[in-house]
Amino acid sequence: MPLHNIRLEVMQTIEKEIDSFIEKYLIPTEKIWQPTDFLPNSQEETFFDEVHQIREEAKELSYDFWVVLVGDTITEEALPTYESWLMDVEGVDQHAKNGWSRWIRHWTGEENRHGDVLNKYLYLSGRVNMREVEVTTQHLINDGFDIGTANDPYRNFVYTSFQELATNISHKRVGRLAKKKGNSLLSKMCNIIAGDEMRHHLAYREFVKKIFQYDPSEMILAFEDMMRKKIVMPAQFVRESGESIGTAFENFSNAAQRLGVYTTHDYIDIMQKLISYWEIDHLNGLTTKAEKARDYLMKLPDRMARIAERVSIPKDITKFKWVEANGML
């Protein structure tokens, strides 16, 4: 049977359980938090006082912090790109509205709140150039992205398993930094977003574990391929106004590493966690090619850790059009 037919068969088999995944890992719309639960209510007389408090607390946060928060917000707001990409994955039928397309729509609905609440917070904070942020977001959606998965569900689910945990770590650490500076509102927002990302990570991680039960050799080859390519962040093509595609990403990434929000060591740690959870060292019945892929994967974290020790992050802060200096540099 051709490979794509096997993948489709596996996807259709797992789809029979999709309702249980939705019930376990997603929260009904009427019960889940909404951005307004955290932000000042414009219908209340206290609105301007609360906005003033946000603006005062925002002054305590560093330049790199704002660069990272803007980058995280833009990444979340490029959600239309991610949904359209996943809707093209083999086994997902948006026209027949099968279980997989239902999962993606519900997942998208949850994710959409993240960019919404962060964008409103940035606007109220008075610390960033919102027009530049908006231009960057539109560019990121216009430019699309290529995560190296094509329409292969196996590779896509490796990517989402990895990326959801990476965003969990990033949001959680941003929240921790905000709390240290006395910004409890932003800390709560980032922590609750991180909680959503963790639930989503657990779901995609489970999808891959299921695939390993049905098609272990092809699944491990897909895992190896994604690790050889390296997991690229969704914002890899991010750029500021007037700049060429991808030019802002390295400086944004350097800011995140300087703050300790997301580092090379986190990347390696996520990889190790996935290798352990999927128990690839205990898989049986692998093809010769898949056995070689397993050997590569088992050795990869240590190899990357040795390389990471030699990597140095620039200490100088890079100025962004998104963030006005205002005495922060």
Say whether 95 is catalytic: no
Say whether 107 is catalytic: no
Provide the β-strand partners of residue 323: 128
Say whether 114 is catalytic: yes
d(CA 142, CA 238): 11
Catalytic residue, candidates 114, 139, 171, 201: 114
Catalytic residue, candidates 75, 137, 167, 263: 167
d(CA 308, CA 319): 26
Tell me how far the alpha carbon of residue 11 is from its chain's centroid.
23
Catalytic residue, candidates 106, 171, 200, 201: 200
Burial 146-160 (b: 16+ CB within 10 A, else e): ebbbebbbbbbbbbb
Say whether 201 is catalytic: no
Computed on alpha carbons and rounded to an integer, the radius of gyration of the chain in Å comes to 21
Contacts of 35 (CB under 8 A, 6+ apart): 113, 116, 117, 120
Provide the β-strand partners of residue 128: 323
d(CA 220, CA 212): 8
Count Cβ atoms below 10 Å from residue 113 Cβ, excluding itself. 19
Tell me, what amino acid is at 123? Y
Say whether 76 is catalytic: yes
Catalytic residue, candidates 64, 111, 116, 218: 111
Decide: 241 and 135 in contact? Cβ < 8 Å.
Answer: yes
Spell out the alpha helix ranges (H) of the chain.
3-15, 18-25, 47-58, 63-77, 79-86, 99-125, 130-143, 153-180, 184-214, 216-229, 249-259, 264-277, 288-308
Catalytic residue, candidates 197, 206, 215, 266: 197
Catalytic residue, candidates 15, 76, 152, 215: 76
Find where tokens 């998965």 sit. Answer: 149
Decide: 132 and 183 in contact? Cβ < 8 Å.
Answer: no
d(CA 66, CA 130): 12
Find where tokens 């352990």 sit. Answer: 276
d(CA 126, CA 97): 42
| Residues recognised as catalytic | 33, 76, 111, 114, 164, 167, 196-197, 200
